[in-house]
Structure 1
Amino acid sequence: MREFPPRPGGARLAPDHDSLAFGVPGAAAGTIFALAIGGGITMGPREGRTLVFGRNRPDVHVCIGEDDRRVSRHQGELTHHADQWWVRSVGRIPLRLPGSRLLFPDDEPVPLATGYTPLFVRGSGRREHLMELFVAGDGDRPPAARHDETTQAPKIWKLSATERLVLVVLAQRYLYHEAHPQPLTWRQAADHLGELRAGESWGPKKVEHLVAAVRARLSRQGVAGLTREEVGEPVGNSLNHNLLRELMETTTLVPPDLRVLDGDE
């Protein structure tokens, strides 16, 4: 076994190095920083340059999951090609990227954007091993502290009264904070709306068209995960789930909205 030395243009990062989420010191554009609990490394950009990570500390640049046999000795690689760093999975279990994307050993490498990217490896039991990555862009600096600045409010989406009612009905399991919520079916939502507004005609197609219009509007304004093209087949409940999560996370819908289910509008 051999220990990989730092490559030219790079240096070791100590185990107590600050999280890369706080940014990195001034570095040449394209420099990559990789950090796990046992330390890490930086490497400057050069065509074909490769950074290896995995469980076998003597034979990798960054050791991750050193005491966990679920993690492969050679779990993955980061390679610089065509002015980008690409991550590739070569271990027995997939890597998990932001957005819950799983990268399997047979998958094509994925390019890293500039800035911060957390990468996870599922370990034994409930263990999750983190490797932080940061690709320096032009003029990257650690973000300045903003202790006294006004908190930035989330973007609250505008909904009509009818849209709000339909979406609260659809999202009630989320608003009740059930453990594993799913949207109501179109039929369930239509039946519930028919009970709440007995003088109106509600059918599954009417509910579906109204919710689809809200998804389309938010998608045009930059919300991801609301179209079939983004999610892929089979779609299942993914589009509505992503919509309801967005409405919850932006506080567009909040638990007190459940009052409408009691007829209190």
Structure 2
Amino acid sequence: MTLHVTRSSKVSLLPREVGSLAATVPAATPGTLFVLGAGGGMTVAPDADFPVLFGRNEPDVHVCVGAGDPHVSRQHGTITREHGTWLLRNMGKLPIRFPGGRLVLGSDVAELTAGYHPLFIVAPEQEHLLEVRVAAHRPATPPAVVSADTRPRTVWSLTDVERLVIVCLAQRYLRGDPMPQPLAWEQVADELRELDPAGRWSWRKAAHIVAGVRKRLSGTVAGLLEHEVPPPVGNALNHNLIMELVITTTIGRGDLHLLGD
């Protein structure tokens, strides 16, 4: 399938020569959407009823991002206008990172407010930038060879017990909280006791299991040991572990079924 865009007063192509949307604020009707990848992009009026599709396979999308990286889905996501708001939908497996660290996981939806949004598809070897701007006031690279299949990234191995404890600890991240933090250990223990009354759960037991996973991954992943993080350490070690497991798709929203969701 090759997508064709008909130029109109409401939908038009955005050449890559426009430069970064961070510095460029085009004159436009409030609510107008600008989406820019490495090879160009789109401008869509708020009343155009035109969904913008992005991904690595240039013939199948309106805005190409991550060309040549088989970890990025050929059609990785869409941006649509619904009830007066632009919404980003992640259709791929890799998360999309917002400024501030918020991750939009596969099948999740996030609102795009007025202003500039540098979004990154988090792939194993690099992050791929998709620039988005929603107008508040007025405000070449040849196609890469596209492989036939989207290559899954390597994930970490977890035992069933490790996965249960970590999903409980990381549930705010998996539910898409805007500024997630690991659950407190006492809350983790309370939930585990309810889920598994025979497990003799305590916060120390849960913390010991998570510490074991951090230690096992620490030879490859930085920021999982106390001496690697400047004080105060706080939640940093568990936050770093959760981010690694989410970004590598080792855990995902589907794992919330372990908590009865």
Q: TM-score, normalised by structure 1?
A: 0.52
Q: Deviations over 1:182-231 (max 9, x none)?
A: 3246xxxxxxxxxxxxxxxxxxxxxxxxxxxxxxxxxxxxxxxxxxxxxx
Per the alignment, residue 90 of structure 2 pairs with: 89
- The CA RMSD measured in Å over matched residues stands at 2.5
CA contact (8 A) 1:78 1:86 kept: yes
Where 2:106 maps in the other structure, the secondary structure is coil
Q: Deviations over 1:21-72 (max 9, x none)?
A: 0132211111100001111111111275311000111111100111110110
Cα separation, partners in 2 of 1:184 and 1:74, compared to 1, 3 Å: same
Where 1:119 maps in the other structure, the secondary structure is strand
1:78 aligns with 2:126: no
Cα separation, partners in 2 of 1:182 and 1:39, compared to 1, 3 Å: same
Per the alignment, residue 3 of structure 1 pairs with: 3
Cα separation, partners in 2 of 1:7 and 1:98, compared to 1, 3 Å: farther
CA contact (8 A) 2:32 2:135 kept: yes
Query: What letter matches 1:34 in structure 2?
Result: V
1:16 aligns with 2:17: yes
CA distance in 2, matches of 1:113, 1:184: 33
CA contact (8 A) 1:13 1:40 kept: yes
CA contact (8 A) 2:35 2:131 kept: yes
Per the alignment, residue 121 of structure 1 pairs with: 121
Unaligned runs of 5+ in 1: 141-177, 186-234, 239-265
Q: TM-score, normalised by structure 2?
A: 0.53
Where 2:22 maps in the other structure, the secondary structure is helix
Considering Cα pairs closer than 8 Å and 6+ residues apart, tell me whether 1 or 2 has the greater RCO: 2
- Overall identity of the aligned pairs, in %: 39
Q: 1:181 aligns with which of 212, 229, 245?
A: 229
1:138 aligns with 2:142: no
CA distance in 2, matches of 1:104, 1:85: 17
Offset of 1:137 from its aligned partner?
1.3
Per the alignment, residue 58 of structure 2 pairs with: 57
Query: What letter matches 1:41 in structure 2?
Result: M
CA contact (8 A) 2:115 2:135 kept: yes
Cα separation, partners in 2 of 1:136 and 1:179, compared to 1, 3 Å: farther
Where 2:92 maps in the other structure, the secondary structure is coil
Unaligned runs of 5+ in 2: 140-225, 238-261
CA distance in 1, matches of 2:45, 2:227: 45
CA distance in 1, matches of 2:57, 2:116: 25
Offset of 1:99 from its aligned partner?
0.9
Where 1:11 maps in the other structure, the secondary structure is strand
Where 1:100 maps in the other structure, the secondary structure is coil
Where do residues 1-265 of structure 1 align in structure 2 (5 Å cutoff)? 1-6=1-6, 8=8, 9-46=10-47, 48-107=49-108, 109-125=109-125, 127-140=126-139, 180-184=228-232, 236-237=235-236
Query: What letter matches 1:133 in structure 2?
Result: V
CA distance in 2, matches of 1:2, 1:90: 18
CA contact (8 A) 2:54 2:65 kept: yes
CA contact (8 A) 2:94 2:123 kept: no
CA contact (8 A) 2:229 2:236 kept: no
Cα separation, partners in 2 of 1:12 and 1:48, compared to 1, 3 Å: closer
Where 2:97 maps in the other structure, the secondary structure is strand
Count of matched residue pairs: 151
CA contact (8 A) 2:55 2:73 kept: yes
CA distance in 2, matches of 1:60, 1:236: 40
CA contact (8 A) 2:18 2:24 kept: no
Q: Deviations over 1:59-93 (max 9, x none)?
A: 11100111110110011110101111111100011
CA distance in 1, matches of 2:7, 2:94: 27
